[in-house]
Amino acid sequence: MNDIIRTQNLCKHYKETIALDNVSLHIPRGAIYGLIGNNGAGKTTLMRILSNLQSPSSGTVVKSENIKIGAIIETPALYPTLSAKGNLKYQLKICGCPSKEVKSKIAELLELVHLKDTRKLVMNYSLGMRQRLALAMALVGNPQFLILDEPLNGLDPEGIKDVRAIIAKLNEEYGVTIMISSHILSELQKVANHYGFLKNGVLIQEFSSSEIADTDLETFYFKNFL
């Protein structure tokens, strides 16, 4: 199938709250898919379901065969009393990486996410460093599909630029399909090429950047979200 993942009529209810309401989305293989929605729109719920961390109330998720999924959702799970290398070593062992490959894999991952100060303990990391390490941790299992829930939140402009560049590199050079969420369209426009707009649990529209001009995309966003 051309979509790496799609959903059919996905619904999620929390008692009386409808977090997702009949969501049918399509993420083409190779895309960088920007998921836009205000607070409480259902972005995290949708991403948790796509990552198998949670079940829908109804509806289905259709994944292309044997895809491996990596995800950073809400607070990344890092070991605060270890260094970046220590975190990666632990994760690689859990994932069954052969001992003789661990060192080179750690070097490759640190290089990929532009993380240099590797002796510091993670508890002393800045938000930007944590975000980069979380990305490296999510890449340990060589996922073909990476889900990133608001990875630019709280980063300074340089951090945003850097994480965007890493995302673009993962997509272009490593062929990873990426889903990335944000409240703000302009944060994603420099990197995404497909968009899904989620409003009050409803996927109101999907666009590919090849079928809509930037200015029309912005008009749609301002009309529906501001």
Ligand X SMILES: Nc1ncnc2c1ncn2[C@@H]1O[C@H](COP(=O)(O)OP(=O)(O)OP(=O)(O)O)[C@@H](O)[C@H]1O
Pick the stretch among 36-44, 96-104, 139-147, 168-176 that binds ligand X (CB under 6 A).
36-44
| Identified binder of ligand X from the candidate list 21, 25, 37, 70, rule CB under 6 A | 37
Q: How far is the CB of 46 from ligand X (least distance, A)?
A: 7
Q: How far is the CB of 40 from ligand X (least distance, A)?
A: 4
Site for ligand X in 40-99 (CB under 6 A): 40-45
Q: Which residue, 169 or 199, is less far from ligand X as judged by CB?
A: 199
Beta carbons within 8 Å of 23's beta carbon, 6+ residues apart:
7, 9, 10, 11, 42, 46, 59, 198, 201, 202, 203
| Identified binder of ligand X from the candidate list 4, 5, 10, 19, rule CB under 6 A | 19
Q: How far is the CB of 200 from ligand X (least distance, A)?
A: 9
Question: What backbone torsions phi and psi does residue 135 show, to the nearest 5 degrees?
Answer: -60, -45
Q: How far is the CB of 44 from ligand X (least distance, A)?
A: 3
Pick the stretch among 33-41, 100-108, 109-117, 120-128 that binds ligand X (CB under 6 A).
33-41
Torsion angle in degrees (nearest 10) through CA of 165, 166, 171, 173:
100
Number of residues that bind ligand X (CB under 6 A): 11
Q: Which residue, 43 or 85, is less far from ligand X as judged by CB?
A: 43
| Identified binder of ligand X from the candidate list 8, 17, 24, 57, rule CB under 6 A | 17
Interface residues toward ligand X, by CB under 6 A: 14, 17, 19, 37, 39-45
